[in-house]
Structure formats: C-alpha cells, structure tokens
Structure 1
C-alpha cells in the first residue's frame, strides 16, 4: 500500500503514516527532504485537502486502513463516508414536482433523488429502476441513470465519451490511449482513462475492459431478477475527515517532530494565512512559541472583526460541501487579544437573521422573525474577516411552546456507522441538551 498526501496537512499526516510503517510516494519537495522520501511510484490511496481546508478527503484501494489509523489518533474529528458509484435496483416511490425530481426507494429504508430531466419515459410508482449514487446532498442520496463501472485503469461510462483524467499530461500518452479506444468494442459505453493507464500495455487494458464489460452483464442480470430495493454493485468509498481544533493541535504536535511548527499552525493555514505561518516559523529559533502566538493574535485583531463592518460565516457540511452567510457585525466581545463572542446581522431573500457565536460554544444562536433557534456546530474558529464552522445540520427551535430538535437522531446514525467517536457523540449529545434551553 502506497499513499500520496498533498495539502496543508500533508507533513503531519505523512509523518504519522511513516511512523506506522506505511509507504508514502510522490511527496512534495520540502517533505521529501525533511523525511527522506524517494518513492515516486503510483499511489494506491490519495489524501488531499477538502475544498474549505477544514480537513482532508481520502480515496483509493485500502483507504479504510488509513481512516482507522486516523480514528485512533483524532478522537474528536468527523469521518464522513461517502459511497460513490454504488448501483441499486431501486423502486420508484413518487415525483416531487416542486424539486423536479423522482424519489426512489433504496435498501434499508433509505431514499434517493433522481433529477426528472435525466429520466426518459413514464414515471410509474412501484416500477423498478437501475440507478447509481453520485454522492449526497443535504442528507439525500443523489442518483443517476448514467452508470459508471470502476476499474484500476479504466472507468466505463454508459452513453459517455472517451476522455482522460486530469492526471494524464503527456500528449504521447493521450494519443496512445485514444488510439487504443478506437480499436475497442465499446458498444454504448465511453471510457475515462485513469492516471497511470498510459504506462500500461495495450493487452492489459483490453483485458481490464473485458472484465468491466462482464461486470456490466452481471449487473443487468441482477437487475432483471430483482423485485425489491437492493444493492447490485458496491462502487467505491470516499472519506471526508473534518478536524476540530483539538485534533488540529494534535496534528501540530506530530508535525513539530518533523520540522519547526508554531502553535495553531493548521488552524492558521486552513484560513489561508500561509505566508504569515511560514514567516513565523522562521522565528522559532529566536522567540518562544508563546511569544509568537501572542503577537500573531495581536496582529490579526488589528484587521478585524470590526463593529458595523461586513463579516462572513463560512459553514462546512459533513460531506465537505459548504455555504456562506454574510452580514454586519453588531456586537463584539474581545478578551486577551482574542474574540470571545460575535454577533452579525444578515439580510437575504429568505429573511433577516441575527447570528451569535461564541469561541467556546458548540452551537450558534439564530434569531429569525423574533424566534430563536440553535445550530449544532464544532466550536467556531474566528478570524478577522470570517469565521469557520462545521455544521451537523442539527437545529433546536421552539414550535407551539415545545422545543423540537430537527435531525436529533443524526448523532446516533453517525455513531453507528463509525463516523464519529463515542467521545464526540457524548459531548455533542450534552450540547444538544444545552441547545434545548432556549
């Protein structure tokens, strides 16, 4: 097993993997030199930053071993598992005309959503349908009828085109693969050539295509014989790991054993303060970590937040997607050069809202039309122009003189799937009880 690690967490994770005797390949130059890595071969697993830099995503054969290792070290982080490419025998439940989608019944009482535009034919409730997951959004499994079957060097795509992955750069390699594709019996399938395919012999690639076409025949046979929601093909797993501040501190400690590292290294880099962080780490031989951290806090505070000025709340969902809320700072509490409490007023087409967050609280107060709600989050990280928050999409609000918690069972479901530790589940359950005291 070989792992490629890129992004702001790469040094810490690489050091952790090497300490566990796991091979790392294609490392960045600075890490190669610091940790004496020479391997440049093709990786089995890739670890990269999420879009919002709040964590990493991991994919590839054997990813579960890496995820389990990180679970042992990082107890307060979220390990969200996204099942991509799973093929189902689904049953059409109904249509949602408002969302312009078809609701599909899936195994284990789950439901998926298929875009109405991608479905050709009459929508008949109770009819079976062959669909594939392409990820989740807002807690729903998003489905497609354009199937993909995954191989090591090839992904075949129903009614698709022949194309290259972004990792194939050489014109010679691209020409070779296009020429091979022309000579293949693809029928109604297209090919996505995976990075590394250009180095394989033509016979190896042809044999792999034959194996994938056999899988297609097996999928069709299973679908023809199914009468209820079932899984026909497993696809692949992709893991989104979102780090809380305590676990970012743990990664700081691990990185410090490999190269000079200041306090809050990963917190600062995840917010885009790369130059500031690199500069500060060059001063560690002259000043203590505490002195540097104090000065950084002083400098950042000079730039904001500022009362009556624009500010942004940047939320990351468990699956790595994000949304932003902009508003005006109306209240600000500062102590020891750190923002302790922050309130912003936001106006949008959905109505006016007032958001209040505190540095040491795992929820955000929301005031909307005079009614108060609370959102469960990982403790906010507050910076001059924005705050970063990880949201569980669990909300407490008063309805008809009763406090109701939307998605309260989500913690239990995450725990059962191994996506959060018992420690994090217990902590957040206590926070939900606090949220109910509206």
Structure 2
C-alpha cells in the first residue's frame, strides 16, 4: 500500500528520501525539506507519523495499523541493526486502570496489558488516590529504552491528524494565533462531507489552516471513524485494568550504528552529507549546528571523524560515562558509571574502569564479586564486541568476559549498543567458553532478533573463540 507520512526530527531528510524512493508520499513537509526535494509534498493529512525520539536514538512510528506496518518493513530494510518494538500503550488508546501509587505531580496507573502509565493530577477530572479506578487515554507514549511512563488523560479524544474530535465540546475550535485563518476554517467545516458523530466537537490544528479541502475532509473522516470506536467506551462501569480500544498503533524504532550510516547514504542522495552525519547528531543536541555548518562550507568526504567528534563532545580521558546495555526486547540497562582511563583516537577506542561492589558472582565466570574488584572494559567505535577484564584488589585477573553486541557507539555520556546474548569468556586459568547461545535462539524465535543478525552474532562469537 501507498502511505502518506509526516516526518519530523534529525532523520527527516533521509527518511523522506527513503519513503519517496519507495513510492510513498510525504506530507506537511517543512520549508527546508520542500526546498531540498524536487517532488510534490502536499499539505495533506497523514496516515502515519515518524518523529525522532527526544534522545535522538530512533523514531516513533504512529498511525493507522496498516500504514505503520508498511513503514516498518521499509525501516527494517535499512541495516542489520535496526530494531522495532510495538508499544503496548499506543498513543490514543483507551484503558481501564487502577491507581497503585501517587507521586508529587500525579499518579502511577496500572494499565494491565499496557504496563504502567502516569496520570498528571492536572489531567484528572476528579481527585484521585491509591486504589481508585480510572478510565484513561494515552496522550504520549514513551520508548521502551526510556525510563518515562506513557502520559495519560481522563478526557477522551479522537485524534485524526489535522483534526481532533472532543466529546461534549460544542462547535468548532481552531488552535491558531491567526484569527482570520481560524474563522475561515471554522466556517468551512460545515461544508465538508465527513459526518461528525453526534455529541462531538471539532478541534483543528494550526496546520489545518493551510490544508486543502480534500485534506481537511480526509482528516475529519479519519477522526470520525476513531470517535465511533471510542464512543462505545464513553461512560459505563470501569472494569479490570486493560485496553478497551486502540484506534492507532505506535512502534518504536531504534537505529544502530550501521542504520545511521545507511540513513547517511539516503541523505547524501539529496544533500551534502558528511560521514557519520546522523551518528554525530544522535550523540549530542549541540552537534546539529556544527554538522550543518561543516556541510554548508564544503563537500566532506572520507571516514567518520571519531577524534574530532569525541574531542569536541566527549568522551575523553578523565570523563565519567555510563554503559548503556540495550536488550533485544527494547529495554535499556545501565551497567553503572566508570571513568575513561584511556583514549586512543587512532584506534577509536575508549577504556572504562569501574569499581565493583561486592556480593554474588560474575556471570558465567562463576567467581565471587569481592571488595576492591575492578572491571576494565575496552570499547571500539563500530566493533561488534567488547571485552571486560575483571581483577581483584591485588591486580590479579579473575577472568575476561567478551560481550557480542551490535556495533558500539561511543556517545558523550553513554556507550551504547544492543546485547546479542551469546558471549565468549576466558577464565583465569585460560579456559575459553562460549555461553548463552540458547538465549540468542530464544530471541530469534520470539521475533526480537532477525536470523541475519543472529547469524552475524554467532560468526563473531566463533571468531572470538578461535582468537582467545
């Protein structure tokens, strides 16, 4: 199917090229994007939106289920280390829930199969406390690698892109500061062919003031369809926690290092693009202006400038960084902070030392974690594995753990990758052992890791077994 997509964020140019090249439409484009593409980019309503996540690590894909799946097929084809996770609490979904904790500014709500959400007190129609039951709608989802919970509201609405329908609202409202354009749009609403469900009012976005009549009618018709779905759950008794209706789907896509470089290739078809354009922009918000400036001055070629980027933004020797241990199910586990004790620009490597807390054993090595132990981990940008050497308080080696993962990215405050389960260890006596192949097999069976990526992980593990 052909989809109409709205694209926002640091990946916009590359994703616009990817979509157009595959025969899809890009709508509501910004002026810079219109200037870059010799294509028809109408102010039409969208079936799906691709928006860069707040941490710039990927995009959220939200919209009609078929459109979302079509776009996901395209994104998965970018590179081997593109991951996608369906959101259990998609934006616009309605849940029954129960409050199990109140915080300073709101309540944590158990949504059953939707996990947990956060209901700000300002979004609650009445006072709420522990064990209260509520009917809520997701207004803002959160990626699985983030600590945030989906944001909830007790006022239910039907979102349709340019148009939103609100139950109990009288008449038409336009969210714009252009009073003349707002009045004109409000007056045109009655001329549109889409039928508005009884008891619902129309709320147009600012972008609707510049849209065509066809686009307005499409948006209103889509919102009306979603309102019909929600209408059935308005009022009535609140039941056990769980989803009642989900007019749209939300999926989170995380771009690995190879995916970012593949996006560079798409952008390069349209605009001057330096090596590592998206890798640099994803690393630090302040990098965007510098990248744009460099590309405006010259035609950059060559390799990704690891030394320039890290010397400007970090990490460098003496810095403190976190190890962002991503999991194939979308979670991000922070393995603690460590100090950068060695930096080699030529080798593109960063060595991080951590002081280990006592208690338990080291995974697979089966040796105790004791007071005074240290872990020295060496990361190389773009490598599919990294080693950690554990030593005791006297400096004696307790073992080496080699983690196989997607290509490492050395961001300023976090070293990122996705763990691929299978690992290779070397015991203190020199014995080499390969572990957790079964966990990788399970991840493939669960659809969390592609067979292509799993095979790459197995080949890396085999090579490391031989080398160690």
TM over 0.5: yes
C-alpha deviation, 1:311, in angstroms: 4.9
The DSSP-based 3-state class of the residue aligned with 1:18 is: helix
Aligned to 2:69: 64
Distance 1:420 1:115, change over 3 A: same
Query: Who is 1:336 aligned against?
Result: 346
| Conserved? CA contact 1:342–1:357, under 8 Å | yes
In the TM superposition, what is the alpha-carbon distance from 1:375 to its structure 2 partner?
9.3
The runs of 5 or more residues in structure 1 that have no matched partner are: 397-404
Could you give the per-residue CA deviations for residues 213-268 of structure 1, whole angstroms, max 9, x where no partner exists?
Answer: 654442248x66x9877643123222322111111222222223333333222212
Q: CA deviation at 1:378?
A: 4.5
Partner of 2:273: 261
**Cα distance in 1 for residues equivalent to 2:328 and 2:118:** 22
Of 164, 169, 178, 1:170 maps to 178
Task: Give TM-score scaled by structure 2 length.
Answer: 0.61
Question: 1:10 aligned to 2:2?
Answer: no
Q: Distance in 2 between matches of 1:279 and 1:241?
A: 28
The answer for the alignment partner of 2:246 in structure 1 is 234
Determine if contact 1:328/1:346 at 8 Å carries over to the other structure: no
2:81 aligned residue: 76
Q: 2:339–2:354: 8 Å Cα contact kept in structure 1?
A: yes
Does residue 148 (structure 1) correspond to residue 156 (structure 2)? The answer is: yes
C-alpha distance after superposition, 1:334-392 (max 9, x if no partner): 26252243336799xxxx9978451235579699x999999997443225x43452567
- Between 1:374-383 and 1:157-166, the stretch displaced more is 157-166
Equivalent position SS for 1:332: strand
Q: Deviations over 1:72-94 (max 9, x none)?
A: 3333211122222322456x6x9
CA displacement at 1:155 relative to structure 2: 3.4
Unaligned 5+ segments in structure 2 are 190-195, 358-371, 424-434
* 1:299 corresponding residue in structure 2: 308
SS in structure 2 of the partner of residue 262 of structure 1: coil
Alignment RMSD (CA, Å):
5.8
CA separation in 2, counterparts of 1:8 and 1:104? 32
Cα pair distance change 1:410/1:133, threshold 3 Å = farther
Task: Give the count of matched residue pairs.
Answer: 400
What is the CA distance between 1:186 and its match in structure 2?
9.3
Question: Counterpart of 1:219?
Answer: 233
With structure 1 as the length reference, what TM-score do the two structures score? 0.64
Structure 1 residue 279 displacement after superposition: 5.1
More strand as a share of residues? 1
Rounded to whole Å, the distance in 2 between the matches of 1:105 and 1:137 is 18
Q: Is the 8 A contact 1:54 1:270 kept in 2?
A: yes
Deviations 1:175-201 (A, max 9, x none): 5678999xx9997x8875445555688
